[in-house]
Amino acid sequence: MNPLYSRSCDTWKTWSSMSKQICALLTLSFFLILGGCTDGPDTTGMKIYRHSLNGSPSSLDPAQSATLYANHVVVNVYDTLYAYKYLARPYQIKPNLAVALPEVSDDGLTYTIRIKQGVEFIDDPAFPDGKGREVTAADFVYSLKRHFDPKTRSQGSWFWAGRIKGMDAWKKAGSDYDKDVEGLKALDRYTIQIILNKPFPQLIHTLTQGYAAIVPREAVEYYGREFSVHPVGSGPFKLQRFDSVGVVLVRNPNYRKEPIDLAFEGYDEAIHGKYGIKEIDGKIPPLVDRLEIHFIKQSLSRWNSFTKGDEIQYAGIPKELLDDVLAQKQPEIILKPEYAKKYFMTSGYENGFVHTDFNMRDPEIGYNDDPQREKMNHALRCAIRYAYNWDDRNKKFYNEMGFIFPGIIPPVVPEYDPDASRETLRHDPEKARQLLQQAGWTADKLPTLTYGGVASVDSRQMFEQFRGWLMKIGYPREKVVFDSYASFGDFNRAVKKAKIKIVGMGWGLDYPDAENTLQLFYGPNGSPGSNNANFDDPEYNRLYEKTSVMQQSPERTRLYRRMNQIVLDSCVTISGLSRQQIFLWHKDVVSFPDQSIVGGFHLKFVDVKEAQK
């Protein structure tokens, strides 16, 4: 991006929020106008699809692909062994780089996976003569080992920590890539063997994730720290440009030729017929020549670009405009005729939820060596939860369309309990004040609370609403402060370092199993892992370890619900709400958007009806 333009935007940041939106729009326009001339090739005659996201990744290294934003890029430039069928719901796993589903031993410990032959990494200077070589089983072994090399600082090692035989010993011995791991081997050029310490029914789901993407050792060593912005994969696209405004991906000319079988992918005429998806049956992905993903934080800026007609082709509806765009919100979401004429739409509850966690590593609000203070901290957390007003939060930020539920098992998974007590969702300021008084808290004793978030209008408004609730229970205004970060990546890094007392987060399920949300509170997954609350309860940990080897069953469901109750009783989180998602896209785009499970996996199936003129 032009540095003079960047400085101009920095100056504008001192203006009002309206000026910020103007800056974002001009940034987007700058990106779109220069797209054709800065990338070299003329885009005339190309099929171009312009996607959009409300945030940006800080790294494109699969080992750091901890966000929805990173996954949108990673799963399109790299390969994973498995993927999810494009259209099948509930989600179904299919082979991707693997030839077939794994062969699993009777004891559930040994997985044998064969990969496709003749698949090549893209051409890149990291390889001799710049020619990409064939992907082999050894590349998968190397890629998984990287998560257990301390130098990688992986955010995804929790997926496999303690599960693969010999991996912990390999790490302790110095993470020498030339040394074997007993439970992770390339039996030959195209055969992978994984041996587990104990059964892990979700293993195959983890192999669909961006974390499990296959990278070549040559590229990691050639680019060093720059590898995070210079992906070298074998996926359907290759990176042409990545900056703070967006990414440009172009077709990988050497991507394997595999025609789309819509019946196999889960096509249902009643659901998908109106979107014209039948047109892509038999075509070979990727279906567009150029995929642009624009990072536009402000929802109004995204909407303005979307409705302009010749910029981004996918967006959500800003909450401020829902009444203007929708003819009906409940029980069915319906667009007004003037929008239905221009755009396709799909909607549904997210496969995940939003929640607010307390950092239990912070002795002022979490665990404390003084047993009396720890009891006081528990009462403080419970009081804050009673101060929280879910109905107000839903009304102001989710247009009363979110689904509120108690705990950490969201309604999209079968273990969700529709009959669970909703006591922990109750807004009761008087109860909160009583708890504080009984525990011995006074205004002067109360600790300063840092509420972390990205520096955006919505985040600031959420904080102000939160602070208002706490002031109603006697919390001094000056003791509730907003700790803002320039980007989600910066915020996420602070969370992973356990620097923030109160963390508002959204979690999208990596795979459709409640285990994926329960692991958010498993002790060993504490920061920098996925357990942002740094909750470490012995009984919870024991039950998690017990259920982690169990197949789905009534007994596992009972234990899952018990774990959910432990989290609620500990007042370690304020949870939760599943947001209503509404996706719109232009009618010249053939697509069925999905960002709920492994965000971005659908993009290689997107087609557009006309090439660039």
Return the CATH number at 545: 3.10.105.10
Task: Please say if the pLDDT value at position 613 is more than 90.
Answer: no
Q: Same domain for 446 and 556?
A: yes
Residue in the structure block whose two tokens are 């939106």: 21
pLDDT at 399 over 90: no
Instruction: Give the C-alpha separation, 473 to 439, whole Å.
Output: 14
- Name the amino acid, one letter, at 575: S
Q: What's the pLDDT tens digit per position in 183-212?
A: 999 999 999 999 999 999 999 999 999 999
With respect to residue 514, please indicate whether it lies within any of the assigned structural domains.
Answer: yes
Q: How confident is the model over 87-108, as a mean pLDDT?
A: 95
Q: Distance (Å, rounded) from C-alpha 463 to C-alpha 208?
A: 35
Tell me, yes or no, whether 516 lies in a domain. yes
Tell me: do 414 and 278 sit in the same domain: no
- Is 76 in the same domain as 211? yes
Of 281, 351, 120, whose CA–CA distance to 605 is shortest? 281
Reported confidence tier of residue 67, pLDDT bands at 50, 70, 90:
confident
In this prediction, residue 489 carries a pLDDT of 84
Quick check: 360 pLDDT over 90? yes
DSSP string, 295-360: E--SHHHHHHHHHHSSS--EE---GGGHHHHEEE-SSS-EE-HHHHTTEEEEEEE-SEEEEEEE-T
> Are the C-beta atoms of residues 188 and 198 closer than 8 Å to each other?
no
pLDDT at 302 over 70: yes
Helix (H, G, I), strand (E, B) or coil at 192: strand
Closest to 185 in 3D by CA, of 173, 170, 198: 170
Q: Are 514 and 595 found together in one domain? A: no
- Cβ 211 vs Cβ 65: under 8 Å: yes
Q: Is residue 508 part of a domain?
A: yes
At 61, list the tokens. 């290294």
pLDDT at 456: 87
Whole-angstrom Cα distance, residue 401 to residue 579? 7
Instruction: Please name the residue that has the structure tokens 């890029």.
Output: 73
Encode pLDDT of 406-455 as tens digits.
Answer: 999 999 888 999 999 999 999 999 999 999 999 999 999 999 999 999 98
Query: Is 310 part of a structural domain of the chain?
Result: no
Q: Strand, helix or coil at 319?
A: helix
Provide the pLDDT for residue 443: 96
24 and 104 share one domain: no
Task: State the distance between the two ends of the chain, measured CA to CA, in whole angstroms.
Answer: 24
Predicted local distance difference test score (pLDDT) of residue 594: 86
Kindly state whether residues 28 and 77 are assigned to the same domain. no
What radius of gyration do the chain's Cα atoms show? 24
Q: For residues 481 and 523, is the Cβ–Cβ distance under 8 A? A: no
- Give the C-alpha separation, 597 to 68, whole Å: 9
Q: How far is residue 204's CA from residue 271's CA, in Å, rounded to a whole number? A: 27
- CB neighbours (10 Å) of residue 369? 7
Q: Two tokens at 27? A: 């940034």
Which of 115, 87, 86, 83 is CA-nearest to residue 96? 83
List pLDDT tens digits, range 511-558: 888 999 999 999 999 998 889 999 999 999 999 999 989 988 999 999
* Continuous segment of H or E residues that includes residue 352: strand 352-358
Q: Is the pLDDT of residue 308 over 90?
A: yes
Shared domain check, 601 and 564: no
Residue 5 and residue 75 share a domain: no
314-315 and 352-358 beta bridge pairing: unpaired
Q: State which residues form the domain around 119.
A: 39-290+590-608
CB 135 within 8 A of CB 79: yes
Q: How far is CA 369 from CA 173, 366, 376, 523, 527, in A?
A: 34, 10, 12, 18, 20
* Contact (CB, 8 A) for 231 and 132: no
The helices-and-strands tally (H runs, E runs) of the chain is 20, 23
Output the domain CATH number for residue 594.
3.40.190.10
Question: What band does 9 get if pLDDT is binned at 50, 70 and 90?
Answer: very low
**pLDDT of 20 strictly over 80:** no
6 and 71 assigned to the same domain: no
pLDDT band at 34 (very low <50, low <70, confident <90, very high): very low
Average the pLDDT over 154-170 and give the result.
Answer: 94
User: What integer is the mean pLDDT of 276-299?
Assistant: 96
Looking at residue 331, its pLDDT comes to 83
Q: Strand order in 103-104's β-sheet?
A: 103-104, 110-114, 191-195, 184-188
**Which range is most confident: 64-73, 357-366, 407-416, 456-465?**
357-366
User: What is the per-residue pLDDT for 510?
Assistant: 83
Please, what is the average pLDDT of the chain? 91
Residues 22 and 146 in one domain: no
What would the mean pLDDT of 171-175 be, rounded to a whole number? 96
pLDDT at residue 8 is higher than 60: no
How many C-beta neighbours within 10 Å does residue 528 have?
19
304 belongs to a structural domain: no
In a domain, 339, yes or no: no
CB 39 within 8 A of CB 567: no
Percent pLDDT > 90 in the chain is 81
62 and 7 in a single domain? The answer is no
185 and 151 together in one domain? yes
In-domain check, residue 499: yes
- What pLDDT does residue 40 have? 52
Beta strand pairing status for 573-578 and 403-404? antiparallel
Would you say residue 381 lies in a domain?
yes
Domain count, the chain: 3
Residue 330's φ and ψ, nearest 5 degrees, are -135, 150
